[in-house]
Amino acid sequence: MKKILIIGIGAGNPEYLTVQAINALNRVDVFFLMDKGAAKEKLVEFRKEICARFITGSDYRFAEAKSPELIRDAVDIESCVEELNRDKQAVFELLISQDMADGECGAFLVWGDPTLYDSTIRIVEAIARSGRHDLDYDVIPGISSAQALAAAHKVTLNRIGRPIEITTGRKIAEGFPAHVDSVLVMLDPEDAYKRFADQDIDIYWGAYVGTPDEVLVAGKLKDVAADIERIKGEARRANGWIMDSYLMRQAEEDKS
């Protein structure tokens, strides 16, 4: 049997790794790295860095493959993601077949936490369920970008006794959810926060949180929306990619 570990490695700071994740790293024979091009080379290097830092031995290896890409301007995003995951599954299966021996342990190192807006679990589960491989897998949680963002801004994600919704830029563009006053937004390449700039909303925005390139902006949305758009554009041009998220919170009613 082959063993796969899906390890959450946190949102960019090597010190975000949990003890459980470090122990898992030291069980692995082969790490699977998905190459997303020169612009995101730092993400691959970060994974190699944490292996060098936290693995006590040297008897591990890397197996790299080119990662399929999502068509981001597609109208039917769910169908596109399903197609992307099928393409990734084919790549994963090839790596598992060609680069692992029976009895070995392989690992996918997932940025942030593998249970939040990531499909690695779904893909590995589909491979295990297919019956084409004698395969078992475990999931090790990590510190998500949502947690890192809140900690960087020294705020809580929710108010006392109140819910929070975690959503995407596409969904928040349809309107602020009626049943919550706090929204954590991920995957927003179109800057959907701008549509709320005329409302009394606080925003806590961050990009590359936990990394040396970290950028943070906080304040009344109407006051900082233009700054966020400008800084985000500059960061994307400088790095070739951007990974950002933000918390929006409606102002509390005056109870006086």
Q: Where are the domains of the chain?
A: 2-140, 145-250
Average pLDDT value for the chain? 93
How large is the average pLDDT for residues 173-187?
A: 96
Q: What does the pLDDT read at residue 72?
A: 59
How large is the average pLDDT for residues 75-100?
A: 90
How large is the average pLDDT for residues 163-190?
A: 96
Q: What does the pLDDT read at residue 67?
A: 87
Q: Could you tell me the CA-to-CA distances from 15 to 37, 133, 216 in Å, in that order?
A: 26, 34, 19
Q: What does the pLDDT read at residue 103?
A: 97
Q: What does the pLDDT read at residue 76?
A: 72
* pLDDT above 90 (res 123): yes
Q: What does the pLDDT read at residue 256?
A: 38
Q: What does the pLDDT read at residue 41?
A: 85
**pLDDT > 90: what percent of the chain?**
86
Who contacts 181 (Cβ-Cβ below 8 Å, separation ≥6)? 159, 162, 249, 250, 252
Band (pLDDT 50/70/90 cuts) for residue 53 is: very high
How many helices (H) and strands (E) in the chain?
A: 7, 10
Three-state SS for 247?
A: strand
Domains 2-140 and 145-250 share a fold: no
Q: What does the pLDDT read at residue 42?
A: 85
How large is the average pLDDT for residues 87-106?
A: 96
Q: What does the pLDDT read at residue 255?
A: 40
- Do residues 146 and 13 make contact, with C-beta atoms less than 8 angstroms apart? no
Band (pLDDT 50/70/90 cuts) for residue 80 is: confident
Q: What does the pLDDT read at residue 78?
A: 79
* pLDDT above 80 (res 119): yes
Nearest to 141 by CA among 118, 172, 170: 118
CATH 1.10.286.10 fits 145-250, yes or no: no
Q: What does the pLDDT read at residue 73?
A: 59
What CATH class does 2-140 carry? alpha beta
Q: Is the pTM of this model over 0.75?
A: yes
Q: What does the pLDDT read at residue 30?
A: 98
Band (pLDDT 50/70/90 cuts) for residue 39 is: low
How large is the average pLDDT for residues 182-193?
A: 96
Q: Could you tell me the CA-to-CA distances from 254 to 113, 199, 251 in Å, in that order?
A: 37, 15, 9
